[in-house]
Amino acid sequence: MSEGTEGRGAEVAVADTDVTSSTAGRVAGTEPGTADPRTLTRRERSRRWVRRHHLALLLTVTLGVAAGVRLVNLGSLGFNSDEAVYAGQAGALVGNPNYVESFPVFRAHPMLVQTMLSIFFRSGEHDVVGRVVIGLLGVLTVYVVYLLGAELYSRHVGVLAAAILAVMPYHVVVTRQVLLDGPMVLFSTLTLLAVTKFAKSGRLTWMLVAGAMLGLTMLSKESSIVLTGAVYAFFALTPQVRRSVVGTVIGMTVAIGMFLLHPISVSLSGHSSTAKAYLIWQLVRRPNHPFTFYGVTVPSAVGPLVLVAALVALWLVYRNRTPAWREVLLVAWVLVPTAAFTLWPVKGFQYLLPCAPALAVLAAQGVVAAPWRLPGAVRQMIGGRDVSGRALSAAVGAAIIISLLVVTLPRLAPTPSATGLAGSGGIPGGRETGHWIRAHTPEGTVVMTLGPSMANLVQYYGHRDAFGLSVSPNPLHRNPSYEPIPNPDYALRHGDMQYVVWDLWSARRSAHFSEVLKGLARRFHGHAVHTEYVGSGADRRPAIIVYEVRA
Amino acid sequence: MRTLRAALMAVAVALLTLVPAASYASEGHQPKTPIKHFVFLFQENHTFDNYFGTRPGVDGIPAGTCMPVVPGTAKPCVKPHWIGDDPIVDLGHTRVQYDREYNGGKMDGFVAANSDNGRDGAIAMGHYDDRDLPYYWNLADNYVLFDRFFSSAKAGSVANHMFAVTATPGVTGRSERIPPEGWGDLPTIFDRLQDAGVSWKFYIENYDPSINYKTRDRVELVDRAAQVIWAPVLAYQRFVEDPELNKHIVDLDQYYKDVQHGTLPAVSYIVPSGDSEHPPGRIQAGQRLVRALVNELMRSTSWDSSAFLWSYDDWGGWYDHVKPPSVDSWGYGFRVPALLVSPYARKGFVDHETSDFTSILKFIETNWDLPPMAERDRKANDLTEAFDFTASPRAPVILGTERDVAPRERPKTGPIYGAYAFALGGSCGLFLLARRRTNRLGPHPKALPTDAVISRRDRP
């Protein structure tokens, strides 16, 4: 028997054991070698019940933890700029008077998420509610990852993959915010599940489902179109998987048709030119991060041990010389977006989030399938006793989850700090500044901010018009939603703007405009009327300063 | 004993004398209305029709108006026309000019009176509208615009400024010059306020304390000598020389500081410098000044108890169609624009009551319980119809310089909700269908075997 065959046999055996044991227990109601249940004590019956349902229990606990880390302390920080925009769009869509004038309904992205959120944004100001909705969709994603792991490998892998994603800082942090990426990852994972089911069942209806789910993924955020490359790569690299021309055409048609709902609905609602303006802008945007951005930011957010475990899964395939279709699918789901977004000049912290479920499943498979054995020295230390491979797998899995929790838990009660990465959390003091502006400035006040991000927060929380000083007058170099200030000096001199807001994060992005803004504040008799701080003790420093100015 | 009795009597008399005085002073500190801060700004040289004659809902330029080039001759004539960015000149605005335009009550001399010395008198029929004065028009939409507010004197700046502080023309005869010795003992509203212990200030833009009635004729100061006309207190010996009085006369910069620090006095008079809107200056500069002053007040803690009124010291030679009522030998002059901004001002209200600059004095005197200074202010309308003191103060609204800003167009939301509901519902339906189909039919015959692993060897 060759090595390859041995490896395949071992892999199948692991899966079969899992399926067989659970099925046998379900059918017979007893376990081999155990006594008649009527003769068991209550404690023994409880143990037996737990043994039989331990995966369901673990999954329930996992989902509970997933919900906990996504929903606890959601209101500690206010929205960041992107959250304010999406929530503002949702409010404007449903006719919330606070946002109808400040936020255009159509901006850069399709409207699936904003449309879902709009149900909760009919009136008033909401940040926690929006985050709860996204958080719950994140929990649903955790469950779908369980289904995916169970479909691809086994329920053990499914549960462990779900547990990994449940506490993975990358997914937790993003699904605690009103961003499009959380729901997008739910639909992309459903796409992955549908492709898996198609590969296993060969039923074309799953291709339709995959197309529909891919369509929903793109309706959440159009950049997910790169995942079509992952689907293509999978089918191209696994000729053994049934490929039907009809099925492929129908699946693609469904996906494209689904995505076309966006421009069609935009057109029917009378704003056909909006999408074109954004497309042009997206194509000519300047790079906002270096080429190495994802290499620096994502591994720590995913968890180094998760990456190692995923590599172990791949190493097992290499060692056994069995390049399996499942790994091809998962690796394609990770590599294609990573390569695409690395090459794409505009980068964002959360852009690689669709890779997270695939990585979680791979890592779980690495942990479950690896032939864990205690080193001899360790065995000697514990008195020569041996520990089963399954127990060691559980220990390694627990270690991974703990390593993720160590990073995740501090993020649940963030202390206002001076470091801030777009998409990684709320802006300290942004909500408070907006509220101060709303309470202390007359209606009709117009605010000059350093950048458009703070302008979004002032508009969302302050209900005042705000314009970013750093917004380029060149239409090719600015987001079409943002209006530039053609002549800031003129605007202040003529009293068209009455307040100037400086913030630390925008200042870090552009020291030049920070100096210009401070110069304008000085020139127009600016005096600070409100300040928000970050840090404590010696590190305490102003993060946001509101200046009242006059000509 | 006799000495003691005399002393006691003296103390009693003194007490009896002081009690009413003390009670008067304390009453004088308390305004009778919620207005604790009254600000009056005096701009220059425009008529009501010149600024608001085309505004709907006011006593504006009558349809079919055409001013004869030669008074008494219907044709040729000049129709009112929009000035826009066309250059303008400083039209005559003396008593003589007034009489020529008034033409014995025929009101048909506006073009003729301005057609001498090679000038084109048609300019007098020019007017502005909301394209030129969007902020003023926006304020009128939200606060009070007076359309029967007359200049107090059928004359130029000197007499009208004096009416605004003394309720008299100050000058005698047809003279419009400040007497070399100043205005003497003529009482002013500031004397009344000072005596009553009510705080006041006279803010002068670009104030130069060295320019007063004694120095204004010096060659090096003559260019800025108008300061003494616009601020009549600078033509009073006591206001110039008595530090207790003089300290109330300050630069306009102090206004912003006072508003900011909550030290705005009860009564403030403001006169501008270069941005007075006096032709041929740009009217937009004056609008900018008013906007800055009003916005500053709106942003302050004083807003809830303040009223800001501004008007124009004379008609500047421009056409106005309303024949001024005759109240005495000095007035009234032609109508001038006047607007009131206050949290108690009626919203979008056009005040049709007949008022003049002495109405401002009357309001101050009524509010702070001060005695009138002359017949004019005694009889004047006190402006209270412009306020609604039964309502709670309105929150400030900073108004822009755009007119008729269309609300953001809301898209039709039906297609959006419909499209996304279809997408979500359809996808869920497909998912359930696929699951049911797979459960019912099982895997396709060509499907991968369950848990199959594709090795290189298995590849075709």
Question: How confident is the model over A181-240, as pLDDT tens digits?
Answer: 999 999 999 999 999 999 888 888 999 999 999 999 999 998 899 999 999 999 988 888
Inter-chain contact A261–B256, Cβ cutoff 8 Å?
no
For the domain with range B32-386, which CATH number is right: 3.40.50.720, 3.40.720.10, 3.40.630.30, 1.20.1440.80?
Answer: 3.40.720.10
Domain shared by A532 and A505, yes or no = yes
Query: Chain B window 151-170: which residues touch A at a Cβ cutoff of 8 Å?
Result: none
Domain that holds residue A339: 55-78+127-278+303-412
Report the alpha-carbon distance of residue A290 to residue A336 in Å, rounded.
19
Q: Helix/strand/coil (H, E, C) string of B355-398?
A: EEHHHHHHHHHHHCCCCCCCHHHHHCCCCHHHECCCCCCCCCEC
Domain shared by A366 and A480, yes or no = no
Domain shared by A397 and A483, yes or no = no
Evaluate whether residue A92 is within a structural domain: no
Inter-chain contact B434–A209, Cβ cutoff 8 Å?
yes
Report whether pLDDT(A114) > 50.
yes
Does B450 contact A at CB distance below 8 Å? Answer: yes
Q: Is the dihedral of CA A413, A417, A423, A424 positive or negative?
A: negative
* Residues of A in Cβ contact (< 8 Å) with B444: 201-203, 242
Tell me which chain B residue has its CA closest to the CA of residue A490.
Answer: B288
Band (A94; pLDDT cuts 50, 70, 90): very high
Question: Please, is B66 exposed, middle or buried when counting C-beta atoms within 10 Å of its C-beta (0-12, 13-18, 19+)?
Answer: middle
**In this prediction, what percent of chain A has a pLDDT beyond 70?**
88
Report whether pLDDT(A451) > 90.
yes
Domain shared by A342 and A373, yes or no = yes
Inter-chain contact A496–B454, Cβ cutoff 8 Å?
no
The string of pLDDT tens digits covering residues B63-83 is 999 999 999 998 999 999 999
Q: Can you give the pLDDT at residue A21?
A: 37
| Alpha carbon of A270: minimum distance to chain B alpha carbons (Å) | 6
**B412 closest CB neighbour out of A270, A325, A525:** A270
Does B87 contact A at CB distance below 8 Å? Answer: no
Report whether pLDDT(A280) > 80.
no
**A93 closest CB neighbour out of B298, B396, B416:** B416
Domain shared by A133 and A219, yes or no = yes
C-alpha count within 13 angstroms, C-beta hemisphere, residue A293: 21
* Residues of B in Cβ contact (< 8 Å) with A213: 427, 431
Evaluate whether residue A178 is within a structural domain: yes
Domain shared by A396 and A502, yes or no = no
Report whether pLDDT(B2) > 80.
no
Inter-chain contact B427–A216, Cβ cutoff 8 Å?
yes
Domain shared by A458 and A388, yes or no = no
What pTM, to 2 d.p., does this model score? 0.84
Length of chain B: 460
Domain shared by A401 and A452, yes or no = no
Inter-chain contact B430–A212, Cβ cutoff 8 Å?
yes
Q: Can you give the pLDDT at residue A37?
A: 63
Instruction: Report the residue of B298, B433, B455 to disrupt the A interface, i.e. the one with the largest count of A CBs within 10 Å.
Output: B455
* Residues A72-82 as b or e (16 or more Cβ within 10 Å = b): eebeebbbbbb
The predicted complex's ipTM stands at: 0.85
Tell me which chain A residue has its CA closest to the CA of residue B418.
Answer: A265
Q: Which two tokens stand for residue B424?
A: 């979500």
Evaluate whether residue A399 is within a structural domain: yes
* Residues of A in Cβ contact (< 8 Å) with B445: 202
Residue B155: DSSP 8-state: S
Give the bridge partners for B355, in sequence order.
Answer: B149
Q: Which two tokens stand for residue A351?
A: 């852009």
Inter-chain contact A238–B454, Cβ cutoff 8 Å?
yes
Instruction: List the one residue out of B226, B228, B94, B92 whose CA is nearest residue B155.
Output: B94
Q: Where are the domains of chain B?
A: 32-386
Inter-chain contact B411–A443, Cβ cutoff 8 Å?
no
C-alpha distances (whole Å) from A2 to each of A320, A325, B450, B453 are 10, 20, 22, 15
Report the alpha-carbon distance of residue B250 to residue B257 in Å, rounded.
11
Tell me which chain B residue has its CA closest to the CA of residue A443.
Answer: B397
Question: What are the backbone angles phi and psi of residue A499, rounded to the nearest 5°?
Answer: -135, 150
Inter-chain contact A200–B441, Cβ cutoff 8 Å?
no
* Residues of A in Cβ contact (< 8 Å) with B396: 442-443
Number of domains forming the structure of chain A: 2
Residue A9: DSSP 8-state: H
Query: Chain B window 385-414: which residues touch A at a Cβ cutoff of 8 Å?
Result: 395-401, 407-414
Residue A219 identity (one-letter amino acid): L
The string of pLDDT tens digits covering residues B266-304 is 999 999 988 999 999 999 999 999 999 999 999 999 999
Domain shared by A362 and A507, yes or no = no
Three-state SS for A40? coil
Question: For A282-299, what is the mean pLDDT?
Answer: 79
Residue with tokens 């649940």: A412
The string of pLDDT tens digits covering residues B353-405 is 999 999 999 999 999 999 999 999 999 999 999 999 999 999 999 999 988 77
Q: Which two tokens stand for residue A163?
A: 């547990």
Contacts of residue B2, defined as CB under 8 A and 6 or more positions apart, other chains included, come to: none
Domain shared by A404 and A506, yes or no = no
Tell me which chain B residue has its CA closest to the CA of residue A202.
Answer: B447
Evaluate whether residue A232 is within a structural domain: yes
